[in-house]
Amino acid sequence: MIAACIDDFRVLAKTRLPRFLFDYIDGGSYSEATMRSNVADLQALRLRQQVMRDVSAIDLSTMMMGRKVALPIALGPVGLAGLNARRGEVQAARAAEAKGVPFILSAVSCCSLEEVTGAVSGPVMLQLYMIRDRDFMRDLLGRAAALGVDTLVLTVDLAVQSARYRDVRSGLAGVQGIDTQLRRFSQIAARPGWAWDVGVRGGPHTLGNFAPVMKEGAGLSQFLAWVGRNFDASITWKDLDWIRQHWSGRLVIKGVLDPDDALAACDAGADSIIVSNHGGRQLDGAPSTIAALPAVAKAVGGRAEILMDSGVRSGVDVLRALALGAKGVLLGRPWAFALAARGEAGVAAMLDLLRHEMAVAMALTGQTSIADLSPDILLPLNT
């Protein structure tokens, strides 16, 4: 099958991954209403087609999170992405570097920070949650700085984890016993290609960044249990003072939907703010990110860079987000699907596809530069 769009990569991923891994990527919390609205609200925005303008030279490059990028796109943090392909985070980081876009490594990646930074020539960004074990957190920040990481993406919308029904049904979450183990095993057996390439040849199957705090021989379930116990539900904006004591690089706050929270992030010293509802995986019933974006951008008023994730499924969607105040977007599911479908080559092809879609949308709206995009390229919703 030829992947002509992001949805095609999703179809390919579904045929390759065991169900519990596909549903982990594809699903959201509770009824998944917010997850659906992320996509639908973006696609409801209509573009203003303008013709007879010189669009022979279109520039898609911009500044994003302190660096020049070829596209206003970053590969956002995706947990367990290393299970989507053999040593998956390494493959994705290589594709991102080749295409000139940032790669943000999830704290709960399978490949360690050392492995990923060793596979590319430029800096990798690190996503992290506030961890109760502050000694471990301080050590991880020190490891990151020593490896050349210059940007920390602190995710603040996961103080508690929401229920994800698909993960319970597939056996990834919920009460763990022999029946859930057998359920996952049967799903793996149904995907022999994945079982050989990733299950057998793709080890170790751990959370590489947390290996120093685990006993030798611990499996993925023990790692996930440790992470769950150590998410800190007591954090407030004052805890960013602790982060700043131990981190001198760029600080990005991910998981903001409310303008007051955005202002608090600015006051706490955030360099960038990511308008995000965790891809619809946390508070079901929260607004879509594209609905929340304009008010956040207006409130911040240039005090911090505004980025957005959740729901982007095309280059046209990227344009829509930029028109409403984002300086760039983060991708999650699209690159995870592309990685599962075709590995590093799939991620590279997905980025090429988005580049082409963006260039076409720019030309047909009469635009030539990312810097010039504004709400003027959108039509009122009632027209």
- Write the DSSP symbol of residue 1: -
Highest mean pLDDT among 122-131, 177-186, 200-209 belongs to 122-131
Q: Among residues 232, 247, 210, which one has the least CA distance to residue 82?
A: 210
Q: Which pLDDT score is estimated for 172?
A: 86
Token pair, residue 235, equals 């954090």
Q: Residue 146: its pLDDT value, please? A: 96
**Confidence check: pLDDT of 223 > 90:** no
| pLDDT tens, residue by residue, 15-37 | 999 999 999 999 999 999 999 99
Percent with pLDDT over 90 in the chain: 82
Predicted local distance difference test score (pLDDT) of residue 326? 98
Confidence at residue 213, expressed as pLDDT on a 0 to 100 scale? 77
- Chain segment 299-321, per-residue pLDDT in tens: 999 999 999 999 999 999 999 99
Q: Is the pLDDT reported for residue 227 higher than 80? A: no
pLDDT at 369: 94
pLDDT at 236 over 80: yes
- DSSP3 helix / strand / coil % (the chain, rounded to 5): 50, 10, 40
Rounded Cα–Cα distance for residues 298 and 351 (Å): 29
Question: What is the percentage of the chain residues whose pLDDT exceeds 70?
Answer: 97
Helix and strand element counts for the chain (H, E): 15, 10
Hey, what are 36's tokens? 């659906």
Q: Do residues 288 and 311 make contact, with C-beta atoms less than 8 angstroms apart?
A: yes
- pLDDT bucket at 220, cuts 50 / 70 / 90: low
Is 90 exceeded by the pLDDT of residue 175? no
In 3D, which of 132, 136, 122, 130 has the Cα closest to residue 152?
130
pLDDT attached to residue 131: 87
Both tokens of 353, joined, read 């596809």
Burial 305-316 (b: 16+ CB within 10 A, else e): bbbbbbbbbbbb
Dump the DSSP string for 153-206: EEE-S-SSPPP-HHHHHHTSSSS-SHHHHHHHHHHHHT-HHHIIIIIITS---S
Say if CB 232 and CB 156 are below 8 A apart: no
Could you read off the pLDDT of 65-111 as tens digits, one per residue? 999 999 999 999 999 999 999 999 999 999 999 999 999 999 999 99
278 given a catalytic annotation: yes
Q: Which phi and psi angles does 307 have, rounded to 5°? A: -120, 170
Q: Which is catalytic among the residues 205, 246, 278, 356?
A: 278
- Residue 69 neighbours by CB under 8 Å, 6+ apart: 61, 62, 63, 100, 101, 102, 328
Q: Report the alpha-carbon distance of residue 261 to residue 248 in Å, rounded.
A: 22
Tokens standing for 256? 């903001």
Average pLDDT over residues 344-351: 98
pLDDT in the model for residue 218: 61
Domain 6-370, CATH among 3.20.20.70, 3.40.50.280, 3.40.930.10, 3.40.50.720 = 3.20.20.70
Q: Is the alpha carbon torsion for 137, 125, 22, 111 positive or negative?
A: negative
For residues 302 and 285, is the Cβ–Cβ distance under 8 A? no
Query: Looking at the predicted structure, is the pLDDT value of residue 205 above 80?
Result: yes
Mean pLDDT of the chain: 93
> What pLDDT score was predicted for residue 229?
78
**Gap between the Cα atoms of 164 and 31, Å rounded:** 9
pLDDT for residue 280 is more than 70: yes
Across residues 343-369, what is the average pLDDT?
97
pLDDT of residue 216: 67
Is it the case that residue 372 has pLDDT exceeding 80? yes
